[in-house]
Chains A and B, each alone.
Chain A
């Protein structure tokens, strides 16, 4: 059995069939090109060409996107370093402006071109298809789980040669200026612990709270420990009749809760969902659900943010980048809410989860790779990092941002503006393991089972551990 990229296993015969299919694609499309570009087509092989195309459609269709990509890929655009991104509206505009400024600094050089390519799912689909087509952009935004798949398809390059390049690389002081966690999250243990991506948009999980609801329940501030959190939820329910915490089911939130309870989610390729911190996390959710202090919101919605803004809930836990959307919802009541670090088991040793995508450089021409890297370096420079953070709500990823006058001014505008940045030094990312994407789904299923009472916390944790370990062992 040969292991292909994108999680497919191809048998010997299947692999041979796949290669033949690709050869037929080449033969078919070359002839079709001639056929479509010349007024008098080459009539020697039109029928075999069309037949070949029909056959290849069948074979490629059966292939389902498997196949092993080897060697270098062609750039999707020879005259520009294309960047596939998912930003929309104002943030997309800001990214394009930054790219324009980068291009203006390098007249005559290969320009960077930002292309909106839908959400992460669409970007992944398009990269997957482009790998098969043999042509890729220079770079694309990607979560670690996506990059792990690209690594298997040999579509991305390790960044160490570029980072250590004496001319265009980063100095050791530059590297020291990044928060270690934002760099570490881009190292892939399954691939020699090399960096295959670079931090792009970073945020941490935060606790958002409605001050008025808390005040009605008799509290003048948010909880610092999980014990206090549970007590505040109980008091909110008792004194206001409101369910305190609408839960957006999410693996990262569970990971953050486990981290904050002093645990880890994995060690090597074994998950730790049967360990005390994980069980405690699920038991807390079980208690919240049983006592009707929490309820699950429909997946993919932002009902929790709405409930918080309308004063029908006391808390929600969301990424710090969600601050801008909650601020929009509460624009007339800016003093009625706040955000802080999530509760901890031991506030002296806090932890939370690091969110956010990275950017990876594809295995195209050296010129495209260098341009992509130079843009990433420019984009993550101290000034740009601050500018991006102020314009988008993501976090500046450099320590030196704390001394930037613009960011200081921003922090001074609202007492909670600094809260997420202060969480960066102790934030941790989820593991960069092949198969983790599947584990994430299992975690969310387990969380739903606990919240809905289908399973007890201990049963859900035990089943999760078993299933997740099986997934990771399969990789």
Chain B
């Protein structure tokens, strides 16, 4: 009993320690600028500045940014789940020449940093006439090696007997993938989807580079309006950040069970 109490106490302390920055962010959203940038830690605002939210929404068209972020995020998520499902299955279950080599090539793309491909990708987008379009925000992120790897590992964990039994009943690869395999790897799919959504939702540099109009920009770009060369309006930045992280927190809690299952199963550290 005592050991369990100590364990819970440590876990609680750890959880509190982890959430402290978020608590500070949320309370700073209601502080004045002076309190927000104070070198001494101020936890609670002396006077709650509700008008910070009005000022935040007046500083940039956050409504449009929300719409764009969700649109891009959901389309990218759907596309990544589909492509990684198909590619992961192919690498796990289909026998074809050069499978190992091709998988190696796909994995090798994980070693190339984003900064290296930024310029060529931008050149490609410009030459395709996709500059300042949703296509530029979505298409380059519709498949990625990490998600393919994750799905491949999930498919490899399924016993081969499942497919053999399905084959005896006349089931082809596509039907087996859709009707049998995909439901069995649902936690991995949710994890892939969650990573894809968060990656898209949190991206800044790419949307900033390939868009020019407010109508095409996303939330993370919107957050930059509070940082200038002469200083940061920290109270408004924290206010916007608090609003911006709400959907991702909600999404995490909704998908928490699958996320944990898959993370623990695949050995991924958060």
Residues on A close to B: CB < 8 A?
25-26, 29-30, 32-33, 36, 53, 56-57, 60-61, 63-65, 76-77, 82, 86-89, 91-92, 115-120, 122, 125-126, 128-130, 132-135, 302-303, 305-307, 309-310, 312, 319, 321-322, 324-325, 328-329, 393
Contacts and interface: CB of A to CB of B under 8 A. Distances in A.
Contact of A33 (B120, B129, B227, B230): B129
Counting contact residues on chain B (CB < 8 A from A), the size range is 35 or more
B116 A61 contact: yes
Given A25-B123, A61-B120, A122-B205, A329 B229 contact: no
B39 A65 contact: no
B116 A64 contact: yes
B65 to A, nearest CB: 13
Contact of B59 (A30, A89, A135, A306): A89
A302 B127 contact: no
Contacts, number: 117
A141 to B, nearest CB: 10
A328 B127 CA distance: 46
Contacts of B226: 88-89
A321 B230 contact: yes
B224 interface: yes
23 contacts: A29-B127, A33-B128, A57-B117, A57-B120, A61-B112, A65-B119, A82-B212, A87-B228, A117-B208, A117-B212, A118-B224, A119-B227, A122-B205, A122-B209, A132-B119, A306-B38, A307-B39, A310-B39, A312-B39, A321-B230, A322-B231, A325-B231, A329-B33
A134 B125 CA distance: 12
Contacts of B112: 61
B200 to A, nearest CB: 18
Looking at chain A's contact residues, is the secondary structure mostly helix, strand, loop, or mixed? helix
A306 B39 contact: yes
Contacts of A25: 120, 123-124, 127
Please name the 3 residue pairs, one residue from A and one from B, whose CB atoms are nearest each other, closest first: A60-B120, A29-B127, A325-B231
Contacts of A91: 228
B195 interface: no
Contacts of A329: 33-34, 37
A212 B126 CA distance: 57
B231 A133 contact: no
A77 B213 CA distance: 12
A29 B128 contact: yes
A53 B140 CA distance: 13
Given A117-B208, A310-B39, A325 B225 contact: no
A135 B39 contact: no
A56 B120 CA distance: 8
Contact of A119 (B116, B124, B224, B231): B224
Contacts of B230: 319, 321-322, 324-325, 393
A24 to B, nearest CB: 11
A310 B36 CA distance: 13
A237 to B, nearest CB: 18
Nearest to A36: B128
Given A122-B205, A302-B232, A321-B230, A61 B126 contact: no
A204 B257 CA distance: 56
B240 to A, nearest CB: 12
Given A328-B33, A329-B34, A119 B229 contact: yes
Q: Which of B59, B120, B122 has the most CB of A within 10 A?
A: B120
A88 B228 contact: yes
Contacts of B11: none
A296 to B, nearest CB: 14
B116 to A, nearest CB: 5
A164 B127 CA distance: 36
Nearest to A331: B34
B226 to A, nearest CB: 7
A133 B127 contact: yes
A116 B127 contact: no
Contacts of A65: 119
Contacts of A53: 124
A88 B119 contact: no
Contacts of A30: 127
Contacts of B122: 126, 129-130, 132-133
B67 interface: no
B22 interface: no
A306 B37 contact: yes
Contacts of B229: 86, 119-120, 321
Contact of B123 (A36, A115, A129): A129
Contacts of A309: 34
Interface string B95-138: 00000000000000000100011111111101111010000000
Contacts of B121: 57
A132 B209 CA distance: 14
Nearest to A33: B128
Contacts of A26: 127
Given A132-B123, A133-B122, A88 B205 contact: no
